[in-house]
C-alpha cells in the first residue's frame, strides 16, 4: 500500500492511460480523483475499481480541464473532502482528425492545444498552493514522442502542445526548486489507446500489438508517484521495441 492515505488526481481518467493509472493507484491504497469530459466513462472506471475490492477509493468530476473556473472548483472540493492533494497526473489530451498544416481547422488547433497544454497549466496552477503548504507533492505530465519527432503523422498542433508539456515540466522543477514539489514528464512512443481511432487512417489490431501498452505507461506513472520524496525522475522516455519499416516488415527499433 505504497500510496495509502494519499490523494491522487488523474485527468483524462475515463480511459486509456488515465484509467490504467487510476486502477494501479487504487490498488496501492490511494484515494483516486478521476477527471474527464464524459461522465459515463468516469462512472465505468469507478465501478471497475469498486468491484476489484482494492483498499483505495475513487471519486470523479466531469469537467473540461481547459476551463480554469471548473478546475479551481474541483480542487477546492477535493481539499474540502480529503484535506490534501499529493499527486497530480496531467494526462488529459487528444489529437485532431486532420493533422497537416493546411487541412487542420482552427477549431481543431484550439481543441488540441487546450486539452493537452492549457489544461496541464490550469490543473497545475490549481493544485500547487496546497502542495506548497504541505511542502510535498508530485506532478506527472504525459507528453509524447511526437514532441521530439514532429511530422504530419502526429500533426503540428499535437506535437507542439506535447513539446510545450516537456518545457513546462522543466520550468516547474526550476520554479519550484526546494519547495518539496517535484515534476516529471513521461514521453511515450505510440501507446495503444482510443486516441488512435482519431487518426485519418487508424492502425489495425496487429500494428497496435507492437505499440507501448497502456499498463506499461501506467506502471511508469506509479513508479514516479511512489518514489521517496527526496528523489525524482525529471523525464522518462518509453519506446516500443519493435516497429514496421516502409515495406511493412516487423523489425527491431534500431534497425
The rounded distance, in Å, linking the Cα atoms of 115 and 72 is 16
Q: What is the architecture of the domain spanning 7-241? A: 3-Layer(aba) Sandwich (3.40)
The rounded distance, in Å, linking the Cα atoms of 127 and 71 is 9
Return the pLDDT at 245.
46
Q: Which of 158, 165, 169, 224 is catalytic?
A: 158
Name the one residue in this structure whose C-alpha cell is 481547459: 66
Q: Indicate the burial class of 65 (C-beta count within 10 angstroms; 0-12, 13-18, 19 or more).
A: buried
For residues 13 and 22, the answer to whether their CB atoms sit within 8 Å is: yes
Q: Which of 156, 143, 14 is nearest to 90 (CA)?
A: 143
% of the chain residues with pLDDT over 90: 75
130: Cα separation from own chain's centroid: 20
Return the pLDDT at 196.
61
For residues 234 and 181, the answer to whether their CB atoms sit within 8 Å is: no
Return the pLDDT at 246.
43
pLDDT at 222 over 50: yes
The rounded distance, in Å, linking the Cα atoms of 16 and 13 is 8
Catalytic annotation on 61?
A: no
Summarize pLDDT for 185-211 with one digit per residue, the tens: 999 987 656 656 655 666 666 666 666
Summarize pLDDT for 131-164 with one digit per residue, the tens: 999 999 999 999 999 999 988 878 999 999 999 9
Radius of gyration of the chain (CA): 18
Q: Which residue has the higher pLDDT, 191 or 180?
A: 180
What are the cell numbers at 140? 506527472
HEC per residue, 70-110: HHHHHHHHHHHHHCCCCEEEECCCCCCCCCCCCCCCHHHHH
pTM: 0.89
Return the pLDDT at 192.
57
DSSP code at position 244: E
Q: Which residue has the higher pLDDT, 36 or 149?
A: 36
Angle between helices 119-134 and 156-175 (to 10 degrees): 20
Average pLDDT for the chain: 90
What are the cell numbers at 214? 497502456
What are the cell numbers at 168? 513546462
End-to-end alpha carbon distance in the chain = 41
Amino acid at each position: 500500500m505504497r500510496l495509502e492515505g494519499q490523494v491522487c488526481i488523474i485527468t483524462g481518467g475515463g480511459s486509456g492511460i488515465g484509467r490504467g493509472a487510476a486502477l494501479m493507484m487504487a490498488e496501492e491504497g490511494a484515494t483516486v480523483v478521476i477527471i474527464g469530459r464524459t461522465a459515463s466513462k468516469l462512472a465505468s472506471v469507478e465501478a471497475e475499481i469498486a468491484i476489484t475490492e482494492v483498499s483505495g477509493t475513487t471519486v470523479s468530476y466531469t469537467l473540461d480541464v481547459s476551463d480554469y473556473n471548473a478546475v479551481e472548483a474541483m480542487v477546492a472540493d477535493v481539499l474540502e473532502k480529503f484535506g490534501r492533494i499529493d499527486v497530480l497526473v496531467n494526462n488529459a489530451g487528444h489529437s485532431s482528425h486532420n493533422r497537416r498544416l493546411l487541412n487542420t481547422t482552427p477549431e481543431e488547433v484550439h481543441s488540441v492545444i487546450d486539452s493537452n497544454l492549457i489544461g496541464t497549466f490550469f490543473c497545475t496552477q490549481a493544485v500547487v498552493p496546497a502542495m506548497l503548504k504541505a511542502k510535498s507533492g508530485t506532478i506527472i505530465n504525459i507528453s509524447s514522442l511526437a514532441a521530439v519527432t514532429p511530422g504530419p503523422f502526429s500533426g503540428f498542433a499535437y506535437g507542439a502542445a506535447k513539446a510545450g508539456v516537456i518545457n513546462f515540466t522543466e520550468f516547474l522543477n526550476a520554479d519550484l526548486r526546494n519547495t518539496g514539489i517535484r515534476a516529471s514528464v513521461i514521453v511515450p512512443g505510440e501507446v495503444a489507446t482510443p486516441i488512435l481511432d482519431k487518426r485519418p487512417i487508424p492502425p489495425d489490431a496487429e500494428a497496435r500489438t507492437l505499440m507501448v501498452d497502456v499498463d506499461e505507461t501506467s506502471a511508469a506513472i506509479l513508479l514516479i508517484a511512489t518514489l521517496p520524496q527526496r528523489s525524482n525522475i525529471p523525464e522518462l522516455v518509453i519506446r516500443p521495441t519493435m516497429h514496421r519499416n516502409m515495406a511493412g516488415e516487423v523489425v527491431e527499433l534500431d534497425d
